[in-house]
Amino acid sequence: MAVKNIPLGQALLDSGLITQEQLEDALSLQKQNGKKLGDILVESGIIDENELMKALETRFKVPFIDLSETRIDNAAPALISEELARKYNVIPIASDDKTLTVATSDPMNFYALDDLKLATNLEIKAVLAAPSAIKNAIGRYYSKKQAEDAAEVLNREFTVENTGGSFREIDERIDNAPVVMLVNSIIQQAVKLGASDIHIEPMEKTTRVRVRVDGVLQNQMTLAGGAHNAVITRFKIMSGMNIAERRLPQDGRIETVVDGRPVDLRLSIMPTVNGEKLVIRILGGTGVLFSKSQLGLSEKNAEIFERLIKSPNGIILVSGPTGSGKTTTLYSILKEFNQPGVNIITVEDPVEYKLPGINQVQVNAKAGLTFASGMRSILRQDPDIIMVGEIRDTETARMAVRAAITGHLVLSTIHTNDAPSTMTRLIDMGIEPYLVSSAVVGVIAQRLVRNICPRCKTAYDPSPHEAEILGLNPGEKLWKGRGCAFCNYMGYKGRTAIHEIMPVDKNARILISYGATSDELREYAVQKGMTTLRQNCAELVKNGTTTIEEMLKVTYNIADE
C-alpha cells in the first residue's frame, strides 16, 4: 500500500514512532471507519497524544505546548463562550489588543478558526495541544467561571442591606436560579479538583468557601454574608435536613453524579457564632480502589504486610488521624480477600466505597444500629472476615476482641499517633492486657504526605541543617516543586502514604501482658527492625518523592527515639 501521500504517517515513520506495518494497518482501518489517522493510532495504543501532537507540529509547523505546564491568562478564555470552546475543543490561553492565542488539536480546522475570529473580532493564532489536555482545561476554567458568575449574581442580590426579614422569607428565595447554580458549581468544581472536603464558613460580614486538595485547604471564593443562609438552606434541602433548625448540629447525605462519576457527599452542619458552618466530605461511590501494590509500601513493609494479612484470625488495626487513608488500606485488604468462598461483612460509618461481593452495613445511630450492635449481629451471620469502620468505644473494642479470639479475622481502624501506642489505647479503653496481647496480630500506623509535582520537580543543594536531619553525604541533592499549571502552582501533586508496621510476636505479647508502656513497645519493635513513620518518610525525601518540609510537618511530633 502506498503511503508517500500520507504526510502524517510519513512524519511518524520518520520519527520512528510507528512501523510500516502499523501504518498500513491503521490506513486499512481508516478506510473502514473514516476516522483520522492520528486518532486511530492513539486509540490503538500505538502512540500517545503527545507523540501525535509533536508529529503534527512537524507536519503543520505549528508549535506544540503542554497545557499542564502553561499558565492560562484568565482573561483569554472569557473572550469566547463555553459552548464554542466545547464545540471545537479549543481553549484560549493568551490575548492582546489584536490577537487571541488558542490551543487546539486540529490547526487545520479553518471553520473553527473563522468562527473564533467572528466571535472575538481578533486575529487567531493557533498552537497545538493534546485533545484531553484541552478538554480538562475547559472543564477547569469554565466550571470555575460559572461558580464565580453565580457568586457575583448572588452577592448582588443578597447584599448586607438586603438581608432583613424572617428566616422564612430568606428560605423562600433559595429556589432562586443563582443559588442553585452556585451550589451545583461548588460541588462540580470541588470534584474536578480532586478535593476531599468542602468548607462553607460564615465570617463576620462574608462567607468563605474553601476546598481541601491533597490535604491542604485552598480558598475558592468569597460570598456576601447575606447569601449564607440561602446557600446553607439549599444544601439542607438537597440532603433532607431540617431547614427550620439552625441552633443544633445536623448531618445529611447527597448522592449525585459529576461527569458520569457517582459521588457520595456527607454533610455536617455546626452552628457557630457567625452562623451555620457546613463541611461536605466527598466520597467516591463505586470509585477506583487501590490494590496492595498501590499503597506505597516500601519493600520491607510490604513483606511484613503480607505476613500480617495471611493471619487466619486476630485483629489487624490501622491507626492514624482522620484523612490519613486508613479506610483505603482496609479496602485494599478486603479486595485481596474478596473471593466466592469467603464471607466478608463490614459495618461502616460511612460506607465510603461500595464493594461488589461484600456485605456492607451502614451505621444508623438514630435507629440503634451502632458499631457494637452491628458486630453482635454480624457474629450470627457466619462471617470469615469482619471489618469494623472504627473502634471508638469500649463496647466495640470488646466485641472485636471476642470475634478475634473465636476464630475470625477482624480489620478495623483506631485513632492513635503511632503503632505502639495503639496497645496502650486499647488497654485504656478497658480491655484487659492479656486479651489485647492474644487478639491483636499487628498494627499499621500511617500518614499521607504530598508528592512533589513531576512536571516542575527540580533538584537543589540541601542546607547544612537539612543534611544533618537526613544524614546526607556531601554532594547529595534534594528535590522540590517550582510550581506550574499542572499542580496549580503548589509544587505538589497527589499524595502517598508512609507506614509504620508493628507485628505482635511472642515477646511483644509478653510485654503487652505485663503492661509495658508505648515507649517500651516502640523500643522493642525498633530493635526487631520496625521502620518508623519518620524513617519511612526520610527515605521518600531522599529519593525525591516528597520534601523535607512535608516530613517535618507530618512527623514532627512523632517520637522515634
Residues β-bridged to residue 413: 318
**pLDDT value at position 6?**
43
**pLDDT value at position 455?**
83
**pLDDT value at position 39?**
75
C-alpha cell at 45: 495504543
DSSP E strands: which ranges in 461-540?
478-481, 492-503
Residues contacting 468, CB < 8 A, separation 6+: none
Mean pLDDT, residues 236-262: 88
Mean pLDDT, residues 25-43: 77
Q: Which of 19-28, 271-280, 360-369, 441-450 is least confident?
A: 19-28
Smallest Cα–Cα separation from 147: which of 220, 93, 75?
220
Q: Which of 153-157, 176-180, 183-187, 296-300 is least confident?
A: 153-157
Mean pLDDT, residues 35-49: 76
pLDDT, averaged across the chain: 85
Over the stretch 362-403, which tens digit does the pLDDT of each residue have? Answer: 888 888 888 888 888 998 999 999 999 899 889 999 999 999
CB 416 within 8 A of CB 446: no
CB 55 within 8 A of CB 17: yes
**pLDDT value at position 1?**
37
CB 103 within 8 A of CB 125: no
**pLDDT value at position 176?**
55
Model confidence at 285: pLDDT above 80? no
**pLDDT value at position 21?**
79
Distance (Å, rounded) from C-alpha 508 to C-alpha 518?
11
**pLDDT value at position 557?**
56
> What secondary structure, in 3-state letters, does 341-395 show?
CCCEEEEECCCCECCCCCEEEECEHHHCECHHHHHHHHCCCCCCEEEECCCCCHH
Model confidence at 96: pLDDT above 60? yes
Model confidence at 27: pLDDT above 90? no
**pLDDT value at position 542?**
94
Mean pLDDT, residues 502-524: 93
Distance (Å, rounded) from C-alpha 168 to C-alpha 155?
20
Mean pLDDT, residues 449-454: 92
Higher-pLDDT residue of 15 and 484 is 484
Residue with cell 497545538: 128
**pLDDT value at position 70?**
79
Residues β-bridged to residue 446: 499
pLDDT band at 258 (very low <50, low <70, confident <90, very high): confident
**pLDDT value at position 263?**
87
pTM of the full structure: 0.74
**pLDDT value at position 437?**
93
Share of the chain above pLDDT 70, in %: 90
- Burial (CB < 10 A; 0-12, 13-18, 19+), residue 343, is middle
Over the stretch 135-155, which tens digit does the pLDDT of each residue have? Answer: 888 877 777 766 767 777 767
CA angle 465, 466, 468 (to 5 degrees): 65
Higher-pLDDT residue of 391 and 58 is 391
What is the four-CA torsion angle of 428, 432, 435, 439, rounded to 10 degrees? -10
Higher-pLDDT residue of 201 and 79 is 201
Q: Could you give the 3-state DSSP secondary structure of residue 443?
A: strand
One DSSP character per residue, 499-515 reads: EEEEE--HHHHHHHHTT
Mean pLDDT, residues 509-534: 93
Give me the domains of the chain, ranges plus CATH numbers: 8-135 (3.30.300.160), 144-283 (3.30.450.90), 292-447+496-532 (3.40.50.300)
**pLDDT value at position 517?**
92
Mean pLDDT, residues 184-189: 88
C-alpha cell at 468: 544533618
Model confidence at 2: pLDDT above 60? no
**pLDDT value at position 81?**
86
